[in-house]
Amino acid sequence: MPFNRELFSRKGAKAQRKRSVSSCISFAPLRLCGKLFLICATSLLLCGLASTTTAEQIPAYQVARVMTQLKIDGRLDERAWADTALVGSFVNNRDGSPSKLTTEARILYDDKFIYFAFRAVDANIWATMKRRDEHLWLEEVVEVFLQANPETPNYIELEVNPLGTMLDIYLLDTRKPLHYESWNSEKLRWAVQVEGTVDGKDGDREWTCEIALPLEDIATAAHLPPRPGDRWRMNLYRVESKPEVAELAWSPTLQNDFHVLPRLGEIVFTDQRVPK
């Protein structure tokens, strides 16, 4: 048969088109999977960045002035506390992730004291230390770190356990305290109430704590009493030991250490008054 160049060209072109269509059909699922992979990877990356950004944010809290005298009994049943906003969530200190443990805190002030209230939901409350200035952080505690002037490294640390034991420390710099027994706040007041037994066994409900720190102890403050608009640095912590260890923070340090001063949150004193 004579060679027909035109027929061969048409058949070749047609075959080539079939091969091209087949190739497109064959590789389309791969391209689709690739796009889906990129979308999923990008979403996970953005979620991770969002979580990191949230954890790295420094929280702030506006402190209201209390107009009635608070009874420091640990019960937190006064109208002033009910009218006071919570500081916000306590999260896992090392990475800022949410905690399954419920912890609440509120803060107030007047001309003589700054007040802290804690509520820690706990099914097995535990502590054994009963002597002031023992190493309470080794068991279960709530803690306050307070720095009135960020330009000076001095800060105060307070810890209270479910037995009502206090550890109060004045630090000259990061992890540089005065000898524990050499500084005790003379007018410091605190109290604890426990719904349950402090033995680490199941069946408990919660414990609450109330602290009144004298403003006269806060020597580095620009103004005493604080004026509306004054800003101090602060962090709040909770240490849980049973049934498993948990270290929670209002402003997570993102380290295995509570004494990270750049990670202290901020409190702003206001002229807002409670009870309303």
User: What is the distance between the alpha carbons of residues 223 and 232, in angstroms, rounded to a whole number?
Assistant: 11
Q: Which pLDDT tens digit goes with each residue over 19-33?
A: 343 443 344 444 534
Q: How far apart are CA 83 and CA 106, in angstroms?
A: 10
Q: Which residues touch 46 (CB under 8 Å, ≥6 apart)?
A: none
The C-alpha angle 190, 194, 198, rounded to 5 degrees, equals: 110
pLDDT of residue 17: 37
Beta strands in the chain (DSSP E): 60-66, 91-92, 103-109, 113-121, 141-147, 155-160, 166-173, 176-177, 189-195, 206-214, 231-240, 246-249, 265-274
Spell out the residues 6+ positions from residue 71 whose beta carbon is closer than 8 angstroms to its own: 78
Higher per-residue pLDDT: 265 or 55 = 265
Helix (H, G, I), strand (E, B) or coil at 153: coil
| pLDDT at res. 182 | 87
Q: What are the CA-CA distances from residue 114 to residues 163, 253, 263 (Å)?
A: 22, 23, 21
Tokens 């005493």 sit on residue: 224
Tokens of 204: 């408990």
Percent share of the chain, pLDDT over 70: 80
Average pLDDT, the chain: 86
Q: Has residue 252 got a pLDDT over 70?
A: yes
Region at 32 (left for phi over 0; alpha for psi -120 to 50; beta for the rest): alpha
Q: Give the domain 59-274 fold.
A: Immunoglobulin-like (2.60.40)
**pLDDT, position 42:** 46
Band (pLDDT 50/70/90 cuts) for residue 37 is very low
The predicted structure's pLDDT at residue 35: 52
Report, as an integer, the average pLDDT of 40-66: 68
The larger pLDDT score, comparing residue 253 to residue 12, is at 253
Res. 145 pLDDT band, cuts 50 70 90: very high
At 71, is the pLDDT very low, low, confident or very high (cuts 50, 70, 90)?
very high
Distance CA 70, CA 212 (A): 9
Which pLDDT band, with edges at 50, 70 and 90, does 54 fall under?
A: low
Please work out, in degrees rounded to the nearest 5, the angle formed at the alpha carbon of residue 45 by the alpha carbons of 44 and 47.
65
For 36, phi then psi, to 5°, come to -60, -40
Query: For residue range 196-242, what is the model confidence (pLDDT) as tens digits?
Result: 999 999 999 999 999 999 999 999 999 999 999 999 999 999 999 99
> For the chain, percent helix, then strand, then coil, each to nearest 5?
25, 30, 45
Q: For 163-185, write each residue's pLDDT tens digit.
A: 999 999 999 999 999 998 889 99
Listed by start position, the domains of the chain span 1-56, 59-274
Tokens coding 153: 């490294």
DSSP codes of every residue in 258-270: S--GGG-EEEEEE
Summarize the confidence of residues 186-203 as an average pLDDT: 97
For 77-115, how does the pLDDT look when each residue is reduced to its tens digit (9 = 90+)? 999 999 999 999 999 999 999 999 999 999 999 999 999
Cβ distance 115 to 137 under 8 Å?
Answer: no
Higher pLDDT, 262 or 37: 262
